[in-house]
Amino acid sequence: MRKYNNKKEIFPLGADERCHISTDSSQTGLNNNIMVVGGSGSGKTVSVMLPMICNLENANAVVVHTKRGIYDKSKKLLEEKGYNVLFVDLNNPAKSPYGYDPLLQCNSLADVRNLAHTIAYTETSKSEPPRDPFWVQNAENITYVILRYIYDGHYSKGHTMKEALYLLDNLSYSDNHNLKEPPPTMKDFREAAFKFSDGTKENSTLEKERELKKEYPLHYEMRKWYKYDKEIYDIWHRFLGLGDVTGGSVVTSTMNPINSIFTDEIRNLFNENHPQFDARELLKPKTVVFIYVSPVNTAQHRFCSIIYQQLFKSLFELGEAGVEGVLPYPVHVLCDDFATGCKVQDFQDLISIFREKGISATMLVQSESQLSSMYGKNNATTIINNCDTYIYLGGMDMDTATNVSKRLNRPMNDVLDMPLGQELFFRRGQKPVVTKRYDTFKAMEEMKQQRKNLRKC
């Protein structure tokens, strides 16, 4: 792996030059996490995210955006700078240039367990934990067993999320009473196949086995677990031993998140015709990945939370494996509408260790209250405290205004009544800056003119 290349970027985050920050952490002594707070239409994307993208020179980035124009405005400029630009379109997966298969991103059984956990808990994504964890825990176990079966390579049809979902789609309990005492060997299984016939033995055992495999593909596959891993098989066997009502409820608890995340549209991302995005792409120089998410499609936000979860974990592990224990190129993860979809599990813990691996996160939220509703008040405070740069662009949230007024050391009315287009810029180690939003479009026109002049020369 290449040696760490920490050539600094300069991000203009406000009209005042004091808001033009260096990303060289070794020089500044600060982390590069940025919290951007502002009501809808306040300019978070145009005045902060877009300037950061346009001023990339050396670092890599992952841009999760909910405005289609961000990719269109940035692609050509980045390519002219020599960047390789990848695009994952969650809103139109069938035509997305790149797909994303979460099971292929798993590099260990711990990753498979984390994926099962993220899927199972997606329905409890707000700050409140599930009232009765029994159902969610069982859903996680069943999901894990099936994902692991595919991951370990036991399924003859393939090893991707597509095959795992095919088996999960066939999860049922209504007929499990016929399978509560599954025989331990495939020989016994073939004998048991007659239980599903009309009682005659006119057809061959092979035909009966095919009949059972077609009608109960998941149960057929799970019987093989006994010879591969009895400990894992016991999880499945305990599920089969539940009562009809309890078993049916576990099935419902398992399938609800599966159906809410993996819609028919999202499943197109697992198409073998798609090249699959992998976090290891970010080990290459000058790489930017755009991930477009519809602002109103909750299924896409839920799937995106899986991408976030796996991305941050993978980047940390790739950095850990680096020559100096850090990524070869810094990676900025820009997160639009960060608190409107599903939360990233344990993000309050992850963000505290980003800096040491060359990772940073820029989070765009409408208010601190919105972040608290997603992560809980204490965790939201931890996330904000791990951002050495905080930008406020206005809004009507009283809790946010109260906190900002304390940071600014001014009356709360000064914050609530701040003019449109104004910005409050806070950076650890310096006094707050009251300035105007950065004029991105004017700057982009100047950059275009500069490139034209260079071509003439």
- What integer pLDDT is reported at residue 1 of this predicted model? 41
- What integer pLDDT is reported at residue 448 of this predicted model? 67
Nearest Cα neighbor of 307 from 98, 447, 130 is: 98
Over 80: is that where the pLDDT of 440 sits? yes
pLDDT, one tens digit per residue, over 225-245 is: 877 888 888 888 888 888 778
Over 70: is that where the pLDDT of 173 sits? no
- What integer pLDDT is reported at residue 409 of this predicted model? 94
Over 60: is that where the pLDDT of 126 sits? no
Over 90: is that where the pLDDT of 405 sits? yes
Comparing 183-197, 400-414, 415-429, which segment has the lowest mean pLDDT?
A: 183-197
Q: Calculate the dihedral angle through the C-alpha atoms of 305, 307, 312, 314, rounding to the nearest 10 degrees.
A: 150
Q: How far apart are CA 121 and CA 206, in angstroms?
A: 40
Maximum mean pLDDT: which of 71-75, 135-139, 358-362, 442-446: 358-362
Q: Is 62 helix (H, G, I), strand (E, B) or coil?
A: strand
**Residue 438 DSSP code:** P
- Residue holding tokens 């990303």? 23
pLDDT, one tens digit per residue, over 13-42 is: 999 999 999 999 989 999 999 999 999 889
Element (H, E) at 434: strand 433-436
- What integer pLDDT is reported at residue 151 of this predicted model? 96
Report which of residues 175 and 361 the model is more confident about. 361
Nearest Cα neighbor of 64 from 40, 31, 32, 100 is: 100
pLDDT, one tens digit per residue, over 47-101 is: 999 999 999 999 999 999 988 889 998 999 999 999 999 999 999 999 999 999 9
- What integer pLDDT is reported at residue 221 of this predicted model? 84
Task: For residue 328, give every residue at least 6 positions away whose Cβ sits within 8 Å of its Cβ, in sequence order, or none.
Answer: 1, 2, 3, 4, 5, 283, 285, 322
- The HSE-up count of residue 395 (CA atoms within 13 Å, CB side) is 27
The residues facing 36 across adjacent strands are 364, 391
pLDDT, one tens digit per residue, over 315-368 is: 999 999 988 889 999 999 999 999 887 788 889 999 999 998 999 999 999 999
- What integer pLDDT is reported at residue 2 of this predicted model? 45
Over 90: is that where the pLDDT of 210 sits? no
- What integer pLDDT is reported at residue 228 of this predicted model? 82
**What would the mean pLDDT of 300-313 be, rounded to a whole number?**
93
- What integer pLDDT is reported at residue 6 of this predicted model? 59
- What integer pLDDT is reported at residue 238 of this predicted model? 85
pLDDT band at 456 (very low <50, low <70, confident <90, very high): low
Over 90: is that where the pLDDT of 435 sits? yes
Cβ neighbours around 200 below 10 Å, total: 7
Decide if 123 contacts 260 (C-beta within 8 A): yes
**Residue 155 DSSP code:** -
Residue 171, classified by CB atoms within 10 Å of its CB into exposed (0-12), middle (13-18) or buried (19+), is buried
Strand 359-365, strand 331-335: pairing: parallel
Over 50: is that where the pLDDT of 198 sits? no
Maximum mean pLDDT: which of 296-300, 302-306, 425-429: 425-429
DSSP secondary structure letters along 225-267 = HHHH-HHHHHHHHHHHTS-HHHHHHHHHHHHHHHHHHS-TTGG
What Cα–Cα distance (Å) separates residue 6 from each residue in 59, 60, 154, 289? 8, 11, 43, 19
Token pair of 94 as six digits = 């069938």
pLDDT band at 46 (very low <50, low <70, confident <90, very high): very high
**Residue 324 DSSP code:** T
Q: How far apart are CA 30 and CA 379, in angstroms?
A: 21
Largest CA-CA distance found in the chain, in angstroms, rounded: 89
Over 60: is that where the pLDDT of 177 sits? no
- What integer pLDDT is reported at residue 207 of this predicted model? 67
Residue 236, classified by CB atoms within 10 Å of its CB into exposed (0-12), middle (13-18) or buried (19+), is buried
- The HSE-up count of residue 205 (CA atoms within 13 Å, CB side) is 7
Q: How far apart are CA 217 and CA 227, in angstroms?
A: 18
Its pTM stands at 0.87
- What integer pLDDT is reported at residue 449 of this predicted model? 65
**What would the mean pLDDT of 106-114 be, rounded to a whole number?**
94
Strand 359-365, strand 422-427: pairing: unpaired
Token pair of 11 as six digits = 């991000």
User: What domains appear along the chain, each with residue ranges and CATH number?
Assistant: 10-100+287-456 (3.40.50.300), 109-267 (no CATH)
- What integer pLDDT is reported at residue 59 of this predicted model? 96
- What integer pLDDT is reported at residue 369 of this predicted model? 95
Our CA angle for 443, 445, 446, nearest 5°, is 65
